[in-house]
Chain A
Amino acid sequence: MSSVVLVLGVPHNPFHYPLTRGPAETWDADTQRMVKRGEEMRDRLRQAQPDALVVVGNDHFNQFFMDNMPAFLMGKMSAYDAIFQTETAEFGMPPCVIPGDKALSQSLLGALLERGVDMAFSDEFKLDHSFVVPLQFVRPELDLPVVPINTNNNAPPLPPASRFVEVGRQLRAAIDALDDDRRIAVIVSGHLAADVGGHHHFADHSLDPEWEETVIGALRDGDLEAAAQHASFERMLQIGYTTHQFLPFLVGAGVAGVPAVHAEVMNRRANSVAWLVWEPQYEAEQ
């Protein structure tokens, strides 16, 4: 029987790459804190000994566009090209290749469709920084096979927040029901209050600390209804256009089904970031 051994929620700020190119002693205090927390997450993942990762991110109009926009889409490839030329141009990130697990994708897709989640799929899915930056934090070796899931939280109409939780719950059920004995970790990535391209673009402070503490606090409490209620499209639009990238964290919460053992809003001189850890097996054993 397979199991979800760990669920991690990490940021995917693309600036982390250029900010960490120089020697460590030249990094600013915020960057050093990000690196330190990333290393702690990496240790947790190593200790959980996963043999595959499900990674939930959001393509930033790199591949998917409103001519054919999937709400939820799973890749089913044996290897994934990653990093688009505009990400290289803007952030200096080099392209890379990440191993996939096509058989695992096929099993999970089949199970999700059976369970009423009409997940789209792609045999030609290129991963952007929302998949690569999280992996660079928690598994920089890029050696574990991944099953990537793209979620639409950029182009309205978006699925409601409760749907992200439900997709997570069904994904957990699909993993639990796998025939073979797999140790799977789920990595979800997103933002807190953010307004890329809007009028709070590049603010040097959090745009809404109260909202951030409310939603992260709800995940700490395991109150997924409250988390979803505070993550409505309209509420997040008041804060900023890219605040909706909070939604992938709810997939992780749905997978875990338990309170997060670590739920942190890390304040910085730019937008705040979230770090989350769920230990579903630990809770199950209690």
Chain B
Amino acid sequence: MSRYLVDKFLYRTLRNPAARQEYSADPVGYVSNWESTVGASLNEAERLTTLSFTDEERKSLSDVDFGRIFAGGAHPFLLWTLMVVIEMQRDSDMLARSPKYLEFGRKYAEGVRVFGRPDIST
């Protein structure tokens, strides 16, 4: 289990518009490439060798399955924000508080509700 690495994935993907496009277009390829590049990098020069996803984490991220990512203890704020910004990137009508935005919020809440309040500590 590496909740930290899942959060790093959500954080680094969320904060980079090009990365969000890549994740949205090809989740499986993006996740695989991310783990060995951005995920394994401390900075431009230093590599990290001790962090990796579990099979379950890799699969839930590759499936963009927000319920299972949530269930694993991903930080809910990061998870929601990445999911909604990706949706908004796909659909330019989906402005903040618009009906589509609120509908996606309800769908998200229903999707994570069954998983209660997982431990989010890293």
Query: A residues touching B (Cβ–Cβ < 8 Å)?
Result: 14-15, 18-19, 60-62, 65-67, 84-86, 89-92, 154-157, 195-202, 237, 241-242
- Tell me the dominant secondary structure on chain B's binding face: helix
The reply to whether B102 and A202 form a contact with Cβ atoms under 8 Å apart is yes
Given contacts A65-B11, A197-B75, contact A89 B122 (CB under 8 A): no
The reply to whether B97 and A60 form a contact with Cβ atoms under 8 Å apart is no
Considering the complex, give the chain A residue whose CB is closest to the CB of B79.
Answer: A197
Tell me if B89 counts as interface (CB < 8 A to partner A): yes
Task: Choose one: B75, B85, B108, B120; the contact of A89 (CB below 8 Å).
Answer: B85
Compute how far the CA of A85 lies from the CA of B16 in the bound complex, rounded to whole angstroms: 9
Task: Choose one: B80, B89, B117; the contact of A196 (CB below 8 Å).
Answer: B80
Considering the complex, give the chain B residue whose CB is closest to the CB of A241.
Answer: B76
User: From residue B21, how far is it (CB to closest CB) to chain A in Å?
Assistant: 12
- In the bound complex, residues from chain B placing their C-beta under 8 Å from that of A155 are 75, 122
The reply to whether B76 and A198 form a contact with Cβ atoms under 8 Å apart is yes
The reply to whether A156 and B120 form a contact with Cβ atoms under 8 Å apart is yes
The reply to whether B96 and A201 form a contact with Cβ atoms under 8 Å apart is no
- In the bound complex, residues from chain A placing their C-beta under 8 Å from that of B85 are 86, 89-90
User: From residue B55, how far is it (CB to closest CB) to chain A in Å?
Assistant: 23
Number of A-B contacts (CB under 8 A): 92
Query: B residues touching A (Cβ–Cβ < 8 Å)?
Result: 4, 7-8, 11, 14-15, 17, 70, 75-81, 84-85, 88-89, 95-97, 102, 105-106, 108-109, 112-113, 115-117, 120-122
Compute how far the CA of A156 lies from the CA of B112 in the bound complex, rounded to whole angstroms: 20
The reply to whether B88 and A90 form a contact with Cβ atoms under 8 Å apart is yes
Considering the complex, give the chain A residue whose CB is closest to the CB of B10.
Answer: A61
User: From residue B104, how far is it (CB to closest CB) to chain A in Å?
Assistant: 10
Compute how far the CA of A201 lies from the CA of B84 in the bound complex, rounded to whole angstroms: 12
- In the bound complex, residues from chain B placing their C-beta under 8 Å from that of A92 are 95-96
User: From residue B86, how far is it (CB to closest CB) to chain A in Å?
Assistant: 10
Considering the complex, give the chain B residue whose CB is closest to the CB of A15.
Answer: B97
User: From residue B73, how far is it (CB to closest CB) to chain A in Å?
Assistant: 11
User: From residue A137, how far is it (CB to closest CB) to chain B in Å?
Assistant: 18
Compute how far the CA of A241 lies from the CA of B109 in the bound complex, rounded to whole angstroms: 13
- In the bound complex, residues from chain A placing their C-beta under 8 Å from that of B115 are 199
User: From residue A261, how far is it (CB to closest CB) to chain B in Å?
Assistant: 33
The reply to whether A15 and B96 form a contact with Cβ atoms under 8 Å apart is yes
Q: Which 5 A-B pairs have the closest CB atoms?
A: A197-B76, A197-B80, A199-B113, A202-B105, A201-B109
Compute how far the CA of A92 lies from the CA of B95 in the bound complex, rounded to whole angstroms: 8
The reply to whether A66 and B95 form a contact with Cβ atoms under 8 Å apart is no
7 other A-B residue contacts (CB within 8 Å) besides A89-B17, A196-B80, A199-B117: A19-B97, A60-B81, A197-B70, A197-B79, A199-B112, A199-B115, A202-B105
